[in-house]
Amino acid sequence: MSKVTQEAYDEEVRELMEDLGMTEEEAIQDAIKGYEMKGMDLSNIVTDLVLEKKYEKILTCLERLSRAVNDKSYECAPEMLQELRTELDKDIKDRVFAGKRKCYNILMDILKGCRKNHATFKSALETITSLMTGHPDLLDDDGIALQIEILEGHYDTATLQCLLRWIRECCIKHELNRQRIFETNIFEKLKKILVRADVDAYEVKDACSVIRAFVLDDDIRHEYGKAHEHATIMAKGALDILTGLLKRFMKDARVVGDLMITLAALVVRNEFCQEVEEAGGLKFVQDIMTDYPDSEKLNWQALKLLKALAGNDTVKSHIVTSGCAPLIVSAISRMKKSENIVAAGLSCISALTLRSSSNAGVFYDCGAAQVIVDAMKAYPNSVNVLKQASWAVRNMSVRNKSESKEFLACGVEEVLRNALRLHGSKLDDNVKAALRDLGLKVDLKERWMGKGVSLSNERS
C-alpha cells in the first residue's frame, strides 16, 4: 500500500477548498475518502493540519489552560480564557473544533479547581457558555451536577448570572438536557432566587430566561418533549411569585417584559389564566400598554400575555370588557412598521374573537376591520402576518355576518385573493376559510370522497 506525503495531502485539501468551494471540514473528509478508495496509506500524515493552522489560537489557549490545570497555577488563566472566548464567539465552527479538542473537559477542570479564585471562576463560566452556545451536546452528568452545586452555593450576583446563562444555553434546542436538568429539582432553586428580598433586576431576568428555556419545544430530534409538563409544574409553584414581581418591578422596563413573556409561557391550563387575572395580571398588562405606548418590545410582550390569557373563556371576556380591545387595535396601528407587533396583535384579536360574537362586535366598534386589512396590505410577503390576519377575519365574521360587511368595504376580498395567488398552499386553508365565512365564493377541496359502495346492516 503506497503512502501519501503530507505535501500531496495538503495540496489536495487546498484544491478541493479553492476549486469546489468546500469548507475545511468537507475538504478533509472528501480527501480522506478519496485516498482510502484508492487504497492509499494515510497513517504517516496529520489529516487535519489545515484545521490546526486555522484554529491555532484556540489550540494555543487550550494548551496553556491545560498546563495551568495540571500545575494548579491559574495566574494566566483569566487572560487565556478571555482570548479563547473571543475565538469561540466568532462562529459555531470554532466552537465545534474546540469541543473536539477537549475544551469542555478543560473548562470543567478549571471550574472545579479554582472556585475561590473569583475572577478565574467567573471567566470560566462565561467561556463554557460561549463554547456551548448553539452546541449544547457537550453537557454531561458531571456538568449538570456542577451547575446545581454552584446554584446552591453562595455566589455574587455576577457569578450567578453567568451560571444561569450557561444553564439556559444548555437547554436551547436540546430536549434531553432540558429534562435532565429539570429533574434535579432546579425549579425550587430558581424560586429561592426569585423570592429573595434583595433579588435584583438582572437575577430576575436571567432566572426567567431559564424558566422559559424549560418550556421550549425546539429540538427536532425529539418528536415529543416535556414542555407542557414542565410548564404545569412551574405554573403551580410560581405564578403567584411572578405576578408579585410584576408589581414590585412595575417601573423597571428591563424586568416587566421578561416577567410577562414568562407568564405567557406558563399559563398552559385554564385555571392558570384565571389565577393570573385574579392576581391582577390583566390590570397590569393594561397599565403597561398605556404607560409605555412607544415601547415595541413591551407592547409585543404584553400582547403575547393577553393572547395566552385568552385561553380561558371567562378571562377572554374580561380582557375585552375591561377595555383591552382599543389598546390592541391602537398598538397595531401605531406600530404598523413592526412586523412583530402586527403579527402579535392580529394573533391576539384572533384568539379573543374565537367563538365570541360579542368580543368580535367590540373589535368592529374599535375599527379593527380596517386595521387588519391595512396590515395585510402592508405585509403582502409575510406568511405569518397574512395567516394571523386570515384567522382574525374568519373569527370576526363567522358569527357576525352583518358586521362582516365592513371587511368587504375595506377591500379585504382582493387582498385575500392576492395572498392566495402569491403564497398558494402555505395559506390555502386559512384564506379560503376567511373567504367562505365572509360569504364569498371559494373553491374548497374535498379532503375525502366515498366510493359509492352500498353499506349493509344485515346480520349473517
pLDDT digits 0-9 by tens, 269-289: 999 999 999 999 999 999 999
- The stretch 90-102 carries a mean pLDDT of 88
Name residue 41's beta-bridge partners. 3
Give residue 448's pLDDT: 54
Angstrom CA distances, 85 to 52, 89, 120, 129, 281, stand at: 18, 6, 13, 9, 41
Q: Tell me what pLDDT residue 49 has.
A: 60
In a domain, 374, yes or no: yes
Q: Are 372 and 360 in contact (CB under 8 A)?
A: no
User: Which residue type is seen at 235?
Assistant: A
pLDDT at residue 82, as a whole number: 96
pLDDT at 22: 80
The whole-number pLDDT of residue 44 equals: 66
Q: Is residue 51 part of a domain?
A: no
Q: Residue 356 is part of a domain; what is its CATH number? A: 1.25.10.10
pLDDT at 33: 85
d(CA 329, CA 320): 12
The grid cell for 106 is 478543560
| 354: in domain | yes
Residue 407 in domain: yes
- What's the pLDDT score for residue 456? 52
Q: Mean pLDDT check: name the lowest of 52-61, 140-149, 322-331, 400-409.
A: 52-61
- Whether the pLDDT of residue 255 is over 80: the answer is yes
- pLDDT exceeds 70 at position 449: no
Please tell me whether residue 41 adopts helix, strand or coil conformation: strand
Name the average pLDDT for the chain: 91
pLDDT for 275 equals 96
Residue 150 in any domain: the answer is no
- Predicted local confidence at residue 1, as pLDDT: 60
Q: How confident is the model at residue 45 (pLDDT cuts 50, 70, 90)?
A: low
Instruction: Report yes or no on 369 lying in a domain.
Output: yes
**pLDDT of residue 460 exceeding 50:** no
Let me know if residue 331 belongs to a domain. yes
Number of compact structural domains in the chain? 2
Residue 149 has pLDDT above 90, yes or no: yes
> Do 261 and 305 contact (CB within 8 A), yes or no?
yes
Please, are residues 163 and 125 in contact by the beta-carbon 8 Å criterion?
Answer: yes
Mean pLDDT of the 165-174 span: 97
pLDDT of 445 reads: 64
**pTM for the model:** 0.84
Predicted confidence band at 51 (pLDDT cuts at 50, 70, 90)? low
| Residue 24 confidence (pLDDT) | 74
At 454, list the grid cell. Answer: 352500498
| Residue ranges making up the domain that contains 331 | 323-440
